[in-house]
Amino acid sequence: MNQNAEAVCLTCGLPIPVQECPYAWGCPKGIEAELPPKPQEILGAFEQVAALAGLRLPANSIRVVSLAAPHRRPALPPQSQAVYSFFLENRCLKVGKAGPKSPARYSSHHYGLHARSTLARSVLDHREQIASLVEWRAAEIRALNGESVGPWIEANTRRLDFLLPTNAGSAALALLETFLQARFNPVFEG
Q: What is the pTM of this model?
A: 0.80
Q: Could you tell me if residue 14 is inside a domain?
A: yes
- How far lies 166's CA from each of 12, 35, 41, 76, 161, in Å? 23, 27, 23, 11, 15
Domain identity same for 129 and 171: no
Q: Are residues 120 and 133 in the same domain?
A: yes
173 and 124 inside one domain: no
> Minimal CA–CA distance to 62: which of 89, 32, 86?
32
Q: Residue 18 pLDDT more than 50?
A: no
Split into its structural domains, the chain has a count of: 2
pLDDT confidence of residue 138: 93
Same domain? For 11 and 64 the reply is yes
The domain of 30 spans 7-68+161-184
* pLDDT above 80: residue 27: no
Residue 113 lies in a domain: yes
Whether the per-residue pLDDT at 4 is higher than 60: the answer is no
pLDDT digits (tens, 9 = 90+) for 68-107: 999 999 999 999 999 999 999 889 999 999 999 999 999 9
State the Cα–Cα distance between residues 92 and 177, nearest whole angstrom: 13
Residues 135 and 172 in one domain: no
138-158 per-position pLDDT tens digit: 999 999 999 999 999 999 999
Residue type, 61: S
